[in-house]
Structure 1
Amino acid sequence: MPSLAEIDAEIRHLQLAIPGSELHGGLSGWLAGGGENVAAWLAPVLADPDLPAPAAGSALDRMRVATALQLEDHDFAFALLMPDDGEPLSVRSAALFDWCRGFLGGFGLATGERSSLSDEGREALSDLARLAAAQPDAEDEDDAGEEDALAELEEFVRVAVLLLHGDAALGPRHRKQLN
């Protein structure tokens, strides 16, 4: 997986108005929702048909390949693309909320109205929506409890994404194979 700095540099080069974590969330949502894993993923994920496909081997292309592999990994190796732990807590929590906003957008674009989620999937999606609407609290910057809470939220989001991927992408794919 490319670093967040590599992704942000390519975003600036393409003059996109989206943070790297949010773009990774959008791509993850697109793939988790059953969207096609294609080189020209940027246009459908950002709902802009004029966007070019990322160059082969570029940071954005490598992010797509790595994300798709992580979502399909049987060892649940999926990881969120977030700022380093050395960044302030408010920066990391804002990136998590951005990531969730991106995920919801990509997931909605991929599933449209055909989404048949389990009860747990609907609950997970609702929880992600609440996180997407959250704002970081800059006052808790040095609180170790807040660090633990952020780590727990990141793990919750990671597991929720895998659950939603199972409901919206893997389940339909396996049903199709059985028929």
Structure 2
Amino acid sequence: MSPELPSLREIDDASRSLGLGVDAPELHGALCGWLAGGGSDGPDWLGKLLVDAELPAIVEGSALDRMARASAAQLEDHSFEFALLLPDDDAGLAERSGALFEWCRGFLGAFGLAAGKDPPLSDESREALADIARLAAASPQDDGDEEDEQALAEIEEFVRVATLLLHGDCALGPRHRKNLN
């Protein structure tokens, strides 16, 4: 069983204390994009991810360290228990969809940083990345009905699976090819 992610509040507090100016969903999305693109979860991940060499190394055991360790473990876990750090279902539709779109924006930027200009993507992964880009450009709607709730749940699941697919192409694939040689 993979480690559990810290709470949104813990990550928001850690982000504020470092003056990052980024909310928990976007920071988690960026971390996951970084890892899916082949980036490292070493103590310097935050500075690399935000392209700021002045940021301190992540303190072991801190909320950001626990988020990085849990995310890396979940992405590597063969039971596909990877989770997005988003508001709970009791939050409003606008808050949850807005957080998902923030997550996608964070993911895209960091994935590009880690994977580079021409990552080794399958056709399915290229399509998934294009879909995440469309979601990153979306805006939340104010309210909705049961259909909208169901659609958001399906989009969240798509993003979760797309992240695992991209991680497989850019992080796991190259690692396995290197081990075979």
Once the two structures are overlaid, the 10-residue window that deviates more, 51-60 or 159-168, is 51-60
Q: Which residue among 125, 129, 132 is the counterpart of 1:125? A: 129
One-letter amino acid of the structure 1 residue matched with residue 152 of structure 2 = L
Match 2:81 to one of 77, 82, 94 = 77
SS, match of residue 27 in structure 1 = helix
| Offset at residue 142 of structure 1 (A) | 4.3
1:115 aligns with 2:80: no
How many aligned positions are there? 177
Q: Distance in 1 between matches of 2:159 and 2:60?
A: 29
| Equivalent in the alignment of 2:98 | 94
| Runs of 4+ off more than 6 Å | none
Find out whether 1:44 has 2:41 as its counterpart: no
Equivalents in 1 of 2:57, 2:118: separation in Å? 26
Aligned partners of 1:114, 1:147: CA distance in 2, in Å? 36
1:19 aligns with 2:23: yes
Point out where structure 2 has 5 or more consecutive residues left out of the alignment.
Answer: none
Alignment-derived partner of residue 169 in structure 1: 171
TM-score by length of 2: 0.96
CA RMSD in angstroms comes to: 0.8
Q: Could you report, residue by residue, the CA deviation over 1:79-101 in whole angstroms, capped at 9, with x for unpaired residues?
A: 00001111111000000000000
CA distance in 1, matches of 2:59, 2:118: 31
Q: What is the identity, as a one-letter code, of the residue corresponding to 1:49?
A: A
Residue 110 of structure 2 corresponds to residue 106 of structure 1:
yes
What residue number does 2:8 align with? 4
Alignment partners' CA distance in 2, 1:25 and 1:155: 14
- What stretches of structure 1 of length at least 5 have no aligned partner? none
**TM-score w.r.t. structure 1 length?**
0.97
**1:178 matched residue in structure 2:** 180
State the match for 2:149 in structure 1. 147
